[in-house]
Structures are given as C-alpha cells and as structure tokens.
Structure 1
Amino acid sequence: MLQRKLEHLACTVAVSAIAAAGLTLAGTKPVLAEFEIQEAGIEKGEVELEYRGAYHWGVPRATDENENANDLVQSNEIELQMGISDWWMISVTSGFDKPLGGDLQATAVEVETQFGLVKREGSGLGLAFQMGYEKAINNHKHLDDAEANQFGFGPIVELATGKFLLTLNPLFTRQLGTYANQEGLGFEYGWRGEYDFTKRWGVGVEMFGEIEDLANAGSFNDQVHSIGPTLFYNLGGNNDEAKGGDDDEGGGGDTKVSGPAEMALSMNVGLQFGLTDATSDTALKFQGSLSF
C-alpha cells in the first residue's frame, strides 16, 4: 500500500512537471511538435494523454529563395489516444503554433489510427501501420499563408536487441482541399536509436526531416532536417525490463503476464541541431505522456 501511495505521489509530481514544462514552452519561442517518434506497441484498453512541444533558436524566415524554411518559433501538440484492441489504436491531436512575428494560435486537428501487424515481445521486430487526416485551421490567415489539409500514411518499424531499440517512422503525405499545392507526395521521417542503461533511464539519438513535395524536392539544403541527442525517463508501468528488450540474451519477453494497463509516466527532453538553411539552428524538444 505504501509503495502504491509513493508511486501515485511520484506520478502526481511528474504530471505537474509536465504541465509546468508545457506552460514554459508555450510562453517562449519555437518548436516543431512533429518531433515525435511513434511506437509500434498497442495495448487494449490503454488510454494515453501526451504533450509535445519545442522551442527554436535561429529561426529562418520564409522567403522566395527559402520558401520551405521552418519559420515557426514555437509549436505544441496535445494528443489523446486509446487502444481499442491489441492491434488497433485511435488518437486525436490538437496543434498550436507560434510563427515568426505572430501569436500563438490553434493550427490543426488530426485524427489518426494505427494497426499492429507484428507485436514485439522483448528483443526482435515490431511492425505497425499508421494513417491519419489533419484538418488545418486557417482563421484570419491571408490566402498566401493558408495551410492545406493533409492525409498521411506509413509503417512504424521497431528493431530491438538487449537494451537497444531502433525505431523508424517514414511517413508519406498528400495535401488535400482548396489550398493544396503539391504535384507528388510529401515525405516526412523520424528515427530514434535508444539505449536504456537502467529500467527507467535511457539516452538516444533522434533525427527528423521533411520534404514537402517529392516531385519538386530541390536540394538537401532547401529541405528541413535536424539531428540531436535525447534523454528518456520512464516511471511506473512494467518496470521488469528495459524498453529495448531483455537484459538477458535468452529473452524473457514471453513470461510477461497480460492484464489491465498500469499507470505509467514517460518523459524525454532533447536538442535538435539544424542541418540545412531551411531548418532552425537549434531546437529544445520536450515530450511527456501519462498512460493508464
């Protein structure tokens, strides 16, 4: 009973920390909320509330010569997701951005679904497929600045061995609606290499990028690409093994007992360094989620 009370207190404190971090980011500058790595695992009945945000320094201004520039000073996303079954999950996300020289405002609402194809137990392969529709909010925007609605789809791939986990998120996108301005498909990606040196702490490297139109991709320097280190912390849930898999090479993932989802909190904070002229020089990213 005492252990449960202490864990509840720790979760309460951690949730307060997430809220404080979110308010801090919302009061400062740039962020790409697209700094997200989606995982392949799905748990029936599990509900997760997640905040993602980022703050950018050295923000490039969009011009005729640098039209793909990420001129966001800040972006935030709040997501609610639920596992309908062990192979199907749905989520709803609201986005709030602060462009260079502008005010923080609601920018999009996205509905997404994910299907589990190969369930990973400890070390091995995990595979899922995601797709979603994003409705842009263009209140008070000039026609030239209006954003198109967007449909996206792609696989989620996990490769784990011991305490190491590699996650790949390639995503193809298609603009829809009145403001669509795309000849081919767009392409976004994120990948993460994570090493969990304890059951709760991990370190890793993440990279993100975007090509708005593969038919007119331009040079690498005209695209948005960034890379950087990330620190991870997990509290609660199944602490019997690290996220990357099993401590022992023989694997112990098959011994896990299924049951109701336990309350769990996870956080990560990282730095992203821009690799091109269209990318902000530096971005501080934060992600916090509570699942139960």
Structure 2
Amino acid sequence: MRKTPMLQRKLQHLAFTVAVSAIATAGLTLAGTKPVLAEFEIQEAGIEKGEVELEYRGAYHWGLPQVEEDEEVPLRQSHDFEMQMGITDWWMISTTLGTTVPAGFNWQVDSVELETQFQLIKRHGNGIALSFATGYGWATQADTANEVKFGPIMEFAAGKFLLTTNTFFSRQMGEFAETDGLGFEYGWRGEYDFAKHWGLGVEMFGEIEDLSNPGSFNDQNHSIGPTLFWKPGGGDEDEEAGDVGEGDDDNAKGNAPEPLSTEFSMNIGYQFGLTDVTSDGALKFQAELAF
C-alpha cells in the first residue's frame, strides 16, 4: 500500500496511543467474573503493511447453564472492541477491550489484551498461509488472573472456499490463577463465497480451561453453527479470479503497489451449544472496517 510518510506516521501514532490508553484501563477493578478473551473470534493469517483495522464482536446468549453459588456467573452478553495495525508485511500489533454483561449483572469492562502476530507463510490467492500470534490479557476485575495465550493461525484457500483455523494455548498468570496447567482454545471456520460479496460458512469454537485436568467433553465449552458473510467493500478483481483469498503480490516484478482503499465487512451467525456448561444458543455479530 502506498502512503505518504506523514500519513503512515499519523496512523502509527494513533495505533500506539490507543494501545497505551487501553493498558491504562487495566487499572480498573470492577466486581464480576473472570475475563473472557475474544469470544467467538476467528483470527486471519494475512498481514498488510500500514493497514489499520477496527473491529467489533458481539454475542448474546440464551439458555444459560445452571451454576452453583460459588461458581462463575455465565455470560448473557459479550462485546469486544479491537484495533490492529500492520507494522510491516509480516508483523502486526493489536489491542482489544473486552466487555461483558454477566447474568444478573450490569455491563462491565472485563479485560484488556495486547497481541502481536507474525506471518510465517504469506498466501497470494490459493494455497496456505501461516501466522503465529501471542498475546497478554490484563484482568480488570478484582481477584482475577491475567492470561497469556499463544498459537498458530492457519488458512487454506481453494477458489471460492477458505478454511481458517485458530489453535491457542493459554495460561493464567499472577496470584489469582486458578489453574496450574495450560489451557486450550480453538476456533475454525469454513467459508464459501456463493455470490458477489456474499459468503456462507460454518464456525466451531471450544475451550478446555486446564489440560492437566480436562474433565469430560460435557464439562468443556463447545459450540458450532452457521454464519452469513457480507463484504460490500470487496473489489471486482478478486471476484473475477474466483478467490476469497488475497490478491496478487504487489511487489512482483513490473507491478507497482496499489493504494489500499477503505473496506467494510460484516458477518452474523448462530452458535448451538454442544455441552451442559455451554449456553443453549448464542447470536454472534462481527463488523470490520479496514483502511
């Protein structure tokens, strides 16, 4: 993407300012439950130098699981606000403000997360992309553990089909940690673009809080469901190529980089709970603005 040096400096300053401001909110201590990091999120492997992306993710849960008096309160709603920026063609940083509405409680700030992502294999059209992400989440709740996570992000594209997988290990940190071993979180998405700017897919999410004591499948959080995608900001070039992936390499010999325009996309889906500790259903929504 071709930008003036002044514009690049302004975007970088904006990214770091938001990140620092987000860290400052970690000093808040509100009563509530443990932090929920990026609920129903599928991270993408691609990174574009200089691209700034603003993202909102929200979810509303029905049929909440029954819990004992001393157990964690289940979520009624979650709302994540994220900003990310590609520093180079292979390195990206992001910051996320996680907020929730637990059952019987009011809206509250739950966590602040900083994450960095490194792209190891870049995809141009069909094929495989691979990135590695690591992040740290600060709990904004009293007596609640912080959390670190790390793991690979993989994509496989073939024509109008795109498969994306996220597999992350996590560990609770600090004096309020409740688990001794690593946790595991996963999410995968299979998407097919059936029409111009429209796609249909299936997403699945799950979590094992402590791999050293995983319990039965029914004691873990797992859900699956359909998702509808709308990408009005997509260009005609990708449609003509029949590809949901990235375009041609801008740095290829004889091709000058083209400016990256503002793009908007959104998706809406429904997740069906598969276990007793998962809500019976959750309506999820995601919107992204990239420029």
TM beyond 0.5: yes
Give the TM-score normalised by the residue count of structure 1: 0.80
- Tell me the distance in 2 between the aligned counterparts of 1:264 and 1:70: 38
Runs of 4+ in 1 over 4 A off after TM superposition: none
- Tell me the distance in 2 between the aligned counterparts of 1:78 and 1:210: 21
Could you tell me whether the CA contact under 8 Å between 2:184 and 2:207 is conserved in 1? Answer: yes
How high is the sequence identity, in percent, across the aligned residues?
Answer: 62
1:97 aligns with 2:100: yes
- Tell me the distance in 2 between the aligned counterparts of 1:177 and 1:255: 44
- Tell me the distance in 2 between the aligned counterparts of 1:61 and 1:54: 19
1:199 aligns with 2:196: yes
**1:78-98 deviation digits (Å, cap 9, x = unpaired):** 001100011000001001111
- Tell me the distance in 2 between the aligned counterparts of 1:49 and 1:253: 21
Partner of 1:23: none
- Tell me the distance in 2 between the aligned counterparts of 1:222 and 1:273: 16
**1:222-274 deviation digits (Å, cap 9, x = unpaired):** 000000000001122544215xx9428xx995476633321000100000000
Q: CA deviation at 1:216?
A: 0.7
Could you tell me whether the CA contact under 8 Å between 2:63 and 2:279 is conserved in 1? Answer: yes
The 5 A counterparts of 1:183-198 are 183-198=180-195
1:211 aligns with 2:208: yes
Q: Which of 26, 35, 38 is the aligned partner of 2:43?
A: 38
Cα distance 1:188–1:120, how it changes in 2: closer, same or farther (>3 A)?
A: same
Q: CA deviation at 1:150?
A: 0.3
1:86 aligns with 2:89: yes
Q: Which moved more, 1:177-186 or 1:212-221?
A: 177-186
Any stretches of 5+ residues in structure 1 without a counterpart?
Answer: 1-30
> Match of 1:160, SS?
strand
Q: CA deviation at 1:35?
A: 0.4
Partner of 2:55: 50
Partner of 1:128: 131
Q: Which of 234, 237, 242 is the aligned partner of 1:247?
A: 242
Cα distance 1:268–1:252, how it changes in 2: closer, same or farther (>3 A)?
A: closer
Partner of 1:110: 113
Give the TM-score normalised by the residue count of structure 2: 0.81
Partner of 2:276: 277
Amino acid at match of 1:285: K
Any stretches of 5+ residues in structure 2 without a counterpart?
Answer: 1-35
Amino acid at match of 1:91: S
Q: Which of 65, 68, 77 is the aligned partner of 1:74?
A: 77
Could you tell me whether the CA contact under 8 Å between 1:234 and 1:267 is conserved in 2? Answer: yes
Partner of 2:285: 286
- Tell me the distance in 1 between the aligned counterparts of 2:97 and 2:249: 38
Cα distance 1:177–1:234, how it changes in 2: closer, same or farther (>3 A)?
A: same
- Tell me the distance in 2 between the aligned counterparts of 1:47 and 1:255: 19
- Tell me the distance in 1 between the aligned counterparts of 2:218 and 2:92: 36
Could you tell me whether the CA contact under 8 Å between 1:154 and 1:171 is conserved in 2? Answer: yes
Two-structure CA RMSD over aligned residues (Å): 2.2
- Tell me the distance in 1 between the aligned counterparts of 2:119 and 2:38: 24
Q: Which of 163, 167, 172 is the aligned partner of 1:170?
A: 167
Partner of 2:22: none
Could you tell me whether the CA contact under 8 Å between 1:32 and 1:72 is conserved in 2? Answer: no
> Match of 1:196, SS?
strand
Amino acid at match of 2:206: G
1:259 aligns with 2:258: yes
